[in-house]
Structure 1
Amino acid sequence: MLKKLQSGLLESNSKNSSSHYTSVAASAYHCLVLAWYFFVLYSLAHLRTEERPSEVFLYGGQWKYLTVLNLFLQAVFYGVSFLADVLRLIKELRCAKCVISSRDLLFSVLAFPVSTFVSISFWILYTYNRELVYPKSLDGVIPSWLNHTMHTAVLPLALLEILATPHRYPAKKKGLFLLGCVSFLYVSWVLWIYFVTGEWVYPLFASFSPAGLGAFFISSLAIIICFYNFGEFLNRMIWGDSIVILDYKRKGK
C-alpha cells in the first residue's frame, strides 16, 4: 500500500514538473514573439519617408493597410498569451481563466485567419502583378526583410502557435459572426478613405467596377472564412477535442 502511494506521489510530481517546464517554455516563446512584433512595428514606424512614393497617400497613415493592422493584432495576441502564461506560472488561476478565454477567442477569430489571409493573398497578387498591391517604388522605402516579415513570417508563426498551444474555438456561429463584423469594419474603413480622398488603399481596387468590387469583397470574406475553418480543423487534428481546463477549486486550496 505504501509503495503504491509513493509511486502515485512520484508520478504526480513528475507530471507537475513537466507541466511547469512546458508553461515556462510557452511563456518564453510568447515573450520572444511579442518582442519581435514590437521590433517590427517600431521599424515600420521609423521608416524614412522623405521620398514618399506617389502611390502612397497620407490619409489614414499606416493604419489603412491590413498588413499593418495585422502586425498590431499579432502583437496584442502574443501580449495576451504571455500574460496568460505568467498568470498560470504564478498560480493566479482565476485571472488566468479570463485571460485564456480572451486569448483563444482572439487567436481563433482574428489572429490565425487574418495572418493566413494577409500572407497568401498578398503573395498570390504580388506574383500576378505586384503593382496591384505592392508597387515597385516601395522597394526604396521598405527593406526586403521587413516586407517578408510583414507578409511571409506571419503565416509560419501562426501555424507554430497552433502546434505549440491548444486553443478553445468558440461556437461556429459566434466565431463567424465576429469575424464577419471585423471584416465589415475594415471594408467600411477602406470605403470611407476612398470617399474622403478619392484614392484607394490598394491600387487593385481601382480596376473594379462597383459590382466587381462588391464581388471581390464577398469573395475575400468567403476565403477568410475558409481560413477560419482551416485553423479550427488543424487545432482539432493536433489536439483532438481536448480543452485546456484549470482545476481552480483543487489548485486553489
Structure 2
Amino acid sequence: MSYLIYFRILGYVATIVLHIGNMLVMAKPPSKEVLEDVRIRNFSQLQYRYLTCWTFFLQVVYAVAALYCDVLILANSKTKDYKLPYYLKGFRETLFSAIVWPSSLVVCIFFWTLFTYDRSLVFPEYLDKALKPINNHIMHTAILPIVLWELLFQPRTQPRSHKRYLAHLVFHFGLYVAV
C-alpha cells in the first residue's frame, strides 16, 4: 500500500472541513439591515442555482466518498489482494473525472476571468455586505488546489474511452441549465 493514501485522506478531511465550515459561516443570517436589501435576499434565495454552489457541494460529496474508499483500503490493508468494490471505485472515478474536475476548472477560470473583466457580471459590490472575501475565495479559488491535490495523489488509469465521462458531464451541465 502506498503512503499517498495518507496525503489523500488529509486532503479529503481538509476539503470537508473547509467547505462545511464555509457553508456554516455563510448560513449564519447577516444583520437585519443587510437582509433588508432586496438584492441580497434574492441572492440568498437563488444560491442553489449557482454553479459555484453545485461545485463545492459536489466536492464535499466526492471527498466523503473518496475518504470512505481510502478508509476501506486501510481497514483491509492486511487482506492480500484487496480491491475496492467495482461500483464504489467506478463511482469515485466517474464523479471526479466527469464532474468535479471539469466543474471546478470552469468555476475557477470563468469566475475570476469575469470578475477581473467586470465584477458586476458575477459578484456585484452589494454582495460584499453578505459575503466576506474569504468566503468568495473558498468558493472560487480553493476549489482548484483541492482538485489539483487529488490529481497529484490519486493514481488513475487511462480509460479506453472518455465517452462515458463526456455523457455524465453533458448531463450535469444540462441539468444545471435546466435548473
Asked if Structure 1 and Structure 2 have the same fold, meaning a TM-score greater than 0.5 normalized by the shorter chain, the answer is yes
Amino acid at match of 1:87: L
Deviations 1:50-79 (A, max 9, x none): 324443416854211111111111000100
Are 2:101 and 1:112 equivalent residues in the alignment? yes
Corresponding position of 1:174: 164
Equivalent position to 2:177, from 165, 187, 193: 187
CA distance in 1, matches of 2:43, 2:140: 22
Which moved further from structure 2: 56-65 or 128-137? 56-65
User: Given that residues 55 and 135 in structure 1 are in contact (C-alpha distance below 8 angstroms), is that contact kept between their aligned partners in structure 2?
Assistant: no
Structure-to-structure mapping, 1:85-164, within 5 angstroms: 85-91=70-76, 93=82, 95-164=84-153
Residue 58 of structure 2 corresponds to residue 80 of structure 1: no
Runs of at least 5 residues in structure 2 that lack an aligned partner in the other structure: none
Partner of 1:203: none
Q: Check whether the contact 1:88–1:96 (CA below 8 A) recurs between aligned residues.
A: no
1-side partners of 2:44 and 2:112: how far apart?
Answer: 25
Could you tell me the TM-score, scaled by structure 1's length?
A: 0.62
Report sequence identity in percent: 31
Asked if the contact 2:115/2:122 (under 8 Å) is kept, the reply is: yes
Contact 2:98 / 2:166 at 8 angstroms: preserved in 1? yes
Instruction: Identify the structure with bigger relative contact order (alpha carbons < 8 Å, sequence gap 6+).
Output: 2
Cα distance in 2 for residues equivalent to 1:45 and 1:167: 36
Q: Distance in 2 between matches of 1:22 and 1:59?
A: 39
User: Is 164-173 or 107-116 further displaced after alignment?
Assistant: 164-173
Query: What is the number of residues matched between the two proteins?
Result: 171
Larger radius of gyration: 1
Runs of at least 5 residues in structure 1 that lack an aligned partner in the other structure: 1-15, 190-253
Q: CA deviation at 1:115?
A: 0.7
Aligned mate of 2:50, from 65, 68, 75: 65
Normalised to the residue count of structure 2, the TM-score between the two structures is 0.85
CA gap 1:159/1:95 in 2 versus in 1, 3 angstroms = closer
C-alpha distance in structure 2 between counterparts of 1:83 and 1:127, whole Å: 38
